[in-house]
Structure 1
């Protein structure tokens, strides 16, 4: 490749230096300047700069797309056939040809930046890696002012590199060039690009291709094309294609996939390092003069990368003077037909000269590990007129939140709070006196209202909970805000009110901070009118000796990492944002850390206020809850949700999620004694594959009829099981019969907000109405007992819709309240619901159940227990299932591999017990599915270990949580266990108000000796003992050196002896047995019942059923004896009748025996035994 032009060639005129000296741009701080474009007439404004990623010692040995350039908040993008980067070819070879990179990547909307400690490297062969010269003619005209902004496009990169790695920029210059000089540079760089080539666009479809089906949702709803397209890909004669990069690309007509027309364009791209394809019509196609939007229907098998880089689709239009503007529709995300929409930014639109024409369509991607096939249907250019669904009705049945205090940690009646003015009179001292000590918060408003707050408990250290905290402004230029100035303060009614000014660009921005003590929580309310604030930074805990952060399982605000609670100086401290009392877009917890940095320990991040579609931000209104206490529980937020009405009804059941109709599988479970099952069907009821629509559906997929779904429902419910299906209202497909773009969420840029693959996010305030409409259709055809409401409880404190004029737009509160109203509607329509549960605490009780996913940056497998927030705040409201939807949620990849090596029987597989022990410790219920279908013997084992205990503890509340200290020989509180490290030993005791006591030995190697009714019991690693006098005894304990599992509850008794015979209660077994109580007894030998096998479902052939292969002849039971006298409450010498039954329930043999000792010998055909007193 020839050495090309420097950053400032000689023919750049009217040069203005914007920034000469080096500036460092970091992820948290952009650089910006107000600039006037130089030049006159037809001259092209240009921008030159030098940029590198500052990595000491590096000479260009690495690179990434880090430099993002904005012109009036519009990203500077690339046109590969008409480059805007004028001094480098679009692509370059890196690492001696090992990689083939583009200087610009559309999915990042950023420019490649070399890792270097100087500006003089030439790793790319372009002459000077750091030098960039951009043509701005498509963005701004000579004489027009604009805001130039540089952004760090890869905010996670410093963490990956384990160093600061700022973006270093210098010599930022604007100038102008004659159009001919610009074209000469373009020709030069394109001629030097060896990867650029023309390809043939074949207008003929393969004659062997039959016409593909149209999307069945569109056909069913009898939809027609709306709006009509100006550009179709039905006739490709005269179209031209240009390819950049190393991919093999082919374009031809096709009938294999269709939407509105009988023929489309098929684009095939082979595996590659990178590619760009530009398709151009025979001549520019005129589009409506007022068009500001393009809708593109496209089909792909890309599924948002699926291990590759996403394919981006950009539509380019050209104005009367030849200026081009790109309408980026975003990445292709589906595995089916999807709508992509691109917008013409208002400011760019105003600078264009009408008329406009369609110029080209560009598909681009980085690395593709597999070939990708795409089908292009049409482009419709239109003037978008939004009539958004604008209202957000509050919940009324019951209210949510249930109290205006919302997250405020509960106060104890023994705490007495006071507030008094500080000696200088402009601050306040807040005091909470209690029997265990006095807490003091001191506020002397000298800095900004947050950083100077101090706390002290008793005679402990004085520390700052929010050191470095501050209000952050959305600066319009290169200033970042001045120092805060106190305007005034006064103490009234126990509240300190302070008013501040923050000087920015000469204009005062005022804000108010109010402080009030509630219990041990300092409530800090911050408000800033005018929409100038972009967030509240909460700073770090500073001055707390040996501070460390404590992860709180299930306290997920938006995404991990979750907020931490600080421990240091024998006190705990939490700093939380109350989402209900905030207008913020997002509660950002990503800075939260377990270990302190040089300037303190980050517990939280703060709030972020993103602009709405009209460019304005919501007025800042945030409530911060600062809590300090020696009691860990005092720092946990309240959960102001109603208690589920269905807990008692659902408590005994195991939740089963299946992707197939499996009638024989459920009949087998029932035949083997599993009576309490919630049988739910996944998305396969609605779709044939991922990418098709699955949300807001009541019609089954084309291969199923409504009658078949009704029949399957009746089959499952006929077994006595609860039946349901997946439903969803967060994911909105443009194929759906209820599609209305006005009910789809918008991003701050006004784009339709992407959701699940091929779907958009539904407006939170539109979801309840859609749930009602679709729910009524479902209820009329196949009423449910319990549905799985997919995704919903994964939506946390994060705004989904930014459309100006919509109630709640741009706020996390709007998302949560709209979502909560939807949950209540689904509950009303579908009886009970289980949801996905990443942000489960926000909706506990509104969802009757959820997948209890302990979501963090690392999987929970290797972490010590801390179930307190779950047990004390969530458990009273609803049911959590297992430790997520499957062991996948709990184990690391290595741990999961070990888990799935389970032999399917016996008591030796420790990962199985690890999973069950965690479930019991958190007070959760049983669940299988999502690929986790253990052998029948293990399924019975798992069910038996959990169903009886959970039936009792799920409706109950926790009275006490304690940890055994070997050093002290006694149980200690969670607070002391966390302080001293006792928690790491994992010897947990949970006492429920109703009397059940759960001991869990949550440790991988250590055992724990306990006393049970005068009998010493040794718990193995991940063993347990559960007792409730008179009604429940369950343990997984060591007996004669091996693990034995036993459960005796109201409904059944279960004994698994492990490797040799065991006796407990009325049972003696060498293997495993389940005894269902009642008259008669049902005795099910279940030591080893063999494996499952898959077969095509007879009645529903599109599905695969799960059948039991031939069990071992002895059913894994070498000896089985029971004391029927005890179980039937008859005399020891009484005679009992024993009937052995086969799979169909027919009696094979009948015998009599003495009640005190009934010996049973399992046979190949005998499934169970009925044992009853002789008449």
Structure 2
């Protein structure tokens, strides 16, 4: 085994193989003429502490998966390289295909003089080129001469001519070995059951994954190794643990019934601020009751350190607990599976967890830390980070890592340790109106209007109402902002909700503490390790920086303001911003004088208390912001379920974690704010295109979420009525139900996730059966899907239950979509909804104004811009009643660090003012001369503009990016030159086949 791990094992290639999925490799570096440093088998990290080298997946650039390899920079320039060994099949043609590009960030473009890329095959240089551009260059190296043979492959990066490695973020674009014409049949996982009983969330297990089968665990000593065994009706898994000097935490071999063994906890290490600690000795302290206790002697910077650890098994999970006796470690990495191939899996809504599919073993594994049993500051996948406190000390390490192996994907998914929400009966059958902006009286009037359409089961989350405006002077929020109406008008909004049967919640924020609040007290602000006030949100409108509360201060101010908000405005629910969308360590407090200083458990405790205050003060459910909401599922009752990290609207329809673990805990709504969901905006008549509307609803249903009405669409009756009478009847049949089967369409069959993932299926046609009896098919594929006599177009669905059917399907001649919902049976119809889509969606709040621009160069890095607004007839009262401003955003999401992608702006008051705009006219505003800020790098900057005031943005006609910003072209900055490119004309994009025109 020592020879196995000290050498570089060979990876047999059976088909096209991505290097990002290869598990056996070695990363090394050399600074100048110094010694070669080997970081070990399977090492992966970003900026290790000694030289600052990196080897890690780096997301996508221009739609290309990337591998970042960074050369040394902390102690001078040098080389970083990674070695692989492969064996090709006999009689094949093969090639190595890769892209080279610098990371597309302004800091990289300004700070780096480029990177020299090199590729070696069997020690012979096959490629070398110095790259400075973020644009992809693609290259191929023929490997056919190695057919049937072994060969070594090395990727290398080095600094530019100045030997300055600053900002040398060198990306390799989807490097892969391509085998031409060979598509081997993969060996599939062994799946014993397709039903999912027993795999829904079980908070009694803590975070440990559930097991689908009857089993026994046992532990025994075999020679120098200790075996931890899962013996179940489905399979047998043996974890063989061998403590060994120089290895952390131990040699852990995993054996699954005749499959090639692999290694758990591989490549683990303990790291201080100045480098790694070495395991100089490890001794067995005891082995009893199925628990192996170990004592570690460590060497860090020439000083001896002591630690202890323990292994045990529960279900299919091998636990490892690790503690140090002193606070010196900065990072503990608990490793990963070491095997020939390991394919990372992106799981929507799951964070701080490594999930892999192991093709050679046909098995899945997960690696993560138990956040309830950690004294760390942060958790990063399989690593814990221990930050400095303000007095310079660190907390001793205490962590528990879970390594789980199974043939079945749902069995490696972590559980959520909280009891489910107590409000399922109250909110399970309600849609959510998520409204940002508007006058209180107008909101009340519209709610009463919607009630005449029978819309009674709803929740209103009203976000913009705070005394000094949104995200300003917090936590001071009351009385309500007089610029949006009087206190009586705010009460009328509350009364309208009560009369209609809606729940009513106002937006509160106890995470951003503003210095201009009357409550401001810097002693209640969290501190960074350097003793500085911890920054929170920066309000770009007011220019005021907010700061993070201390852990206990969040609940302090909630106790002061939430009960009073409830008393004044008769709320029946509440909304707390941010906390529910973030992990337990957001805004860590490192103040050494505080309990749980620099520990995530301090922030965790603060959030638990805050959430309790919200429910109690408002006597109803707690709503919040979504994305990393799984941490809080059950403590929070519902969120807008955005999935930014998973790809927004392009996120994979991998439903298992959401439906099995989150769905039983809370009632989430929508797929996130429209502007954070859409990637490729499509507009039609001033609204999102019908195709985007259908796609949003399809994902909402597939993921088991509640109906959602954003500000953009709350005056659009077409969307509101369909969410209520088409989505809600399906929703109320699955809100309190558990998923019994989750299947994916793969080459003509419906198969469980384990098979679909092994086959790399597209996951765009799904079937979910609930224990309520509901059956749901959703089609995300371009091709129509014929199901139960219905033809589902792309983003169509079919839901069936006893006495119930709902669908978006093609009409009999296949020309366009039809929406239909029937509750009841023939002769006993409770509700019938039918929409022939003969009327295009319109919004009551739409202003018939079409914006455009003219741009001319005006000197070095300057341009002259004229804004034109073509004024029609509809909605002109909003122009004449409100003194609207023009906001102009120059947008590049890769350059900007802001959520809306804003790089620079040209907001201004139009001349003439909107009060003087007249029907049938074209308003010419400008020209204005604009200078591109000096710090803005070369690139393309989309011009997105709109009209707004304190009531919010105005919906107009044009190419809307789904946030009421209208795309009117882009400027291209190249050195001193600025040129303009008009937007591409899009004719009925996302309309054909969806509207019966």
Indicate conservation of the 8 Å contact 1:713/1:723, yes or no: yes
Q: Distance in 1 between matches of 2:109 and 2:347?
A: 37
Residue 271 of structure 1 corresponds to which residue in structure 2? none
The answer on 1:629 being equivalent to 2:406 is yes
Q: Distance in 1 between matches of 2:430 and 2:204?
A: 34
Aligned-residue CA RMSD in angstroms? 3.8
Match of 2:521 among 736, 740, 748: 740
Residue 1025 of structure 1 corresponds to which residue in structure 2? 798
Residue 260 of structure 2 corresponds to which residue in structure 1? 461
Match of 2:239 among 441, 453, 460: 441
The answer on 1:918 being equivalent to 2:918 is no
The answer on 1:408 being equivalent to 2:408 is no
Give, in angstroms, the shift of residue 852 of structure 1.
0.6
The answer on 1:564 being equivalent to 2:351 is no
Match of 1:954 among 735, 738, 743: 735
Give, in angstroms, the shift of residue 64 of structure 1.
5.1
Residues 805, 448 of structure 1: CA spacing in aligned structure 2 closer, same or farther, 3 A cutoff?
A: farther
Q: Distance in 2 between matches of 1:1107 and 1:510?
A: 63
Q: Map Cα deviations across residues 171-197 of structure 1 (whole Å, 9 max, x no partner).
A: xxxxxxxxxxxxxxxxxxxxxxxxxxx
Residue 421 of structure 1 corresponds to which residue in structure 2? 221
Residues 751, 1107 of structure 1: CA spacing in aligned structure 2 closer, same or farther, 3 A cutoff?
A: closer
Give, in angstroms, the shift of residue 492 of structure 1.
1.0
Match of 2:583 among 792, 796, 813: 796
Indicate conservation of the 8 Å contact 1:454/1:463, yes or no: yes
Residue 542 of structure 1 corresponds to which residue in structure 2? 338
Structure 2 length-normalised TM: 0.64
Q: Distance in 1 between matches of 2:33 and 2:504?
A: 68
Match of 1:675 among 446, 450, 456: 456
Give, in angstroms, the shift of residue 422 of structure 1.
2.4
Match of 1:977 among 756, 762, 773: 756
Matches within 5 A, 1:238-257: none
Residue 855 of structure 2 corresponds to which residue in structure 1? none
Residue 765 of structure 1 corresponds to which residue in structure 2? 552
3-state SS of 2:434 partner: strand
Match of 1:817 among 596, 605, 608: 605
Residues 863, 688 of structure 1: CA spacing in aligned structure 2 closer, same or farther, 3 A cutoff?
A: closer
**Count of residue pairs the alignment pairs up:** 695
Matches within 5 A, 1:302-321: none
Matches within 5 A, 1:700-711: 700-701=480-481, 703=483, 705-711=486-492
Residue 420 of structure 2 corresponds to which residue in structure 1? 643
Indicate conservation of the 8 Å contact 1:716/1:723, yes or no: yes
Match of 1:989 among 743, 767, 772: 767
Indicate conservation of the 8 Å contact 2:774/2:801, yes or no: yes
Matches within 5 A, 1:559-708: 563-568=354-359, 569-589=361-381, 604=382, 606-658=383-435, 659-661=437-439, 662-688=443-469, 692-695=472-475, 697-701=477-481, 703=483, 705-708=486-489
Residue 854 of structure 1 corresponds to which residue in structure 2? 643
Q: Distance in 1 between matches of 2:46 and 2:768?
A: 44
Q: Distance in 1 between matches of 2:879 and 2:721?
A: 23
Match of 1:1000 among 767, 772, 778: 778
Residue 355 of structure 1 corresponds to which residue in structure 2? none
Residue 492 of structure 1 corresponds to which residue in structure 2? 288
Indicate conservation of the 8 Å contact 2:774/2:799, yes or no: yes
Residues 966, 834 of structure 1: CA spacing in aligned structure 2 closer, same or farther, 3 A cutoff?
A: same
Q: Distance in 2 between matches of 1:851 and 1:159?
A: 36
3-state SS of 2:819 partner: strand
Indicate conservation of the 8 Å contact 1:1097/1:1105, yes or no: no
Residue 304 of structure 2 corresponds to which residue in structure 1? 508
Give, in angstroms, the shift of residue 808 of structure 1.
2.2
3-state SS of 2:422 partner: coil
Give, in angstroms, the shift of residue 868 of structure 1.
0.7
Residues 456, 847 of structure 1: CA spacing in aligned structure 2 closer, same or farther, 3 A cutoff?
A: same
Residue 617 of structure 2 corresponds to which residue in structure 1? 829
Indicate conservation of the 8 Å contact 1:848/1:878, yes or no: yes
Q: Distance in 2 between matches of 1:617 and 1:50?
A: 25
Q: Distance in 1 between matches of 2:701 and 2:569?
A: 34
Residues 740, 574 of structure 1: CA spacing in aligned structure 2 closer, same or farther, 3 A cutoff?
A: same
Residue 147 of structure 2 corresponds to which residue in structure 1? none
Residue 665 of structure 2 corresponds to which residue in structure 1? 877
Give, in angstroms, the shift of residue 404 of structure 1.
7.5
Q: Map Cα deviations across residues 529-587 of structure 1 (whole Å, 9 max, x no partner).
A: 200111211333221x4421111110124xxxx63333422110000111111111111
Give, in angstroms, the shift of residue 824 of structure 1.
1.6
Residues 666, 415 of structure 1: CA spacing in aligned structure 2 closer, same or farther, 3 A cutoff?
A: same
Indicate conservation of the 8 Å contact 2:634/2:666, yes or no: yes
Indicate conservation of the 8 Å contact 2:248/2:279, yes or no: no
Indicate conservation of the 8 Å contact 1:885/1:927, yes or no: no
The answer on 1:901 being equivalent to 2:674 is no
Q: Map Cα deviations across residues 271-290 of structure 1 (whole Å, 9 max, x no partner).
A: xxxxxxxxxxxxxxxxxxxx
Residues 438, 409 of structure 1: CA spacing in aligned structure 2 closer, same or farther, 3 A cutoff?
A: same
Q: Distance in 2 between matches of 1:1098 and 1:406?
A: 58
Q: Distance in 2 between matches of 1:1038 and 1:163?
A: 43
Give, in angstroms, the shift of residue 774 of structure 1.
1.2
Residues 1026, 474 of structure 1: CA spacing in aligned structure 2 closer, same or farther, 3 A cutoff?
A: same
Indicate conservation of the 8 Å contact 2:709/2:723, yes or no: no
Mark the runs of 5 or more structure 2 residues left unpaired by the alignment.
Answer: 1-30, 38-44, 52-73, 82-99, 102-106, 114-131, 133-157, 176-200, 539-544, 825-829, 848-874, 884-948, 957-997
Q: Distance in 1 between matches of 2:306 and 2:878?
A: 69
Give, in angstroms, the shift of residue 1020 of structure 1.
1.5
Indicate conservation of the 8 Å contact 1:553/1:855, yes or no: no
Q: Distance in 1 between matches of 2:173 and 2:387?
A: 28
Q: Distance in 2 between matches of 1:1022 and 1:880?
A: 20
Residue 317 of structure 1 corresponds to which residue in structure 2? none
Larger radius of gyration between Structure 1 and Structure 2: 1
Residues 838, 816 of structure 1: CA spacing in aligned structure 2 closer, same or farther, 3 A cutoff?
A: farther
Indicate conservation of the 8 Å contact 1:416/1:434, yes or no: yes
Give, in angstroms, the shift of residue 648 of structure 1.
1.9
Q: Map Cα deviations across residues 1089-1131 of structure 1 (whole Å, 9 max, x no partner).
A: 877455559999986599999xxxxxxxxxxxxxxxxxxxxxx
Residue 169 of structure 2 corresponds to which residue in structure 1? 158
Indicate conservation of the 8 Å contact 1:988/1:1001, yes or no: yes
Indicate conservation of the 8 Å contact 1:652/1:947, yes or no: yes
Indicate conservation of the 8 Å contact 1:871/1:922, yes or no: yes
3-state SS of 1:683 partner: coil
Give, in angstroms, the shift of residue 642 of structure 1.
1.7
Residues 770, 788 of structure 1: CA spacing in aligned structure 2 closer, same or farther, 3 A cutoff?
A: same
Residue 521 of structure 1 corresponds to which residue in structure 2? 317
Residue 1047 of structure 1 corresponds to which residue in structure 2? 821
Give, in angstroms, the shift of residue 696 of structure 1.
5.0
Give, in angstroms, the shift of residue 158 of structure 1.
2.3
Q: Distance in 2 between matches of 1:50 and 1:1008?
A: 59
Match of 2:708 among 906, 916, 927: 927
If asked which structure has higher relative contact order (CA below 8 Å, sep 6+), I would say 2
Q: Distance in 1 between matches of 2:738 and 2:755?
A: 22
Give, in angstroms, the shift of residue 65 of structure 1.
5.5
Q: Map Cα deviations across residues 843-901 of structure 1 (whole Å, 9 max, x no partner).
A: 11211110111131x62333431111110111111111111122x23221x2xx22x33
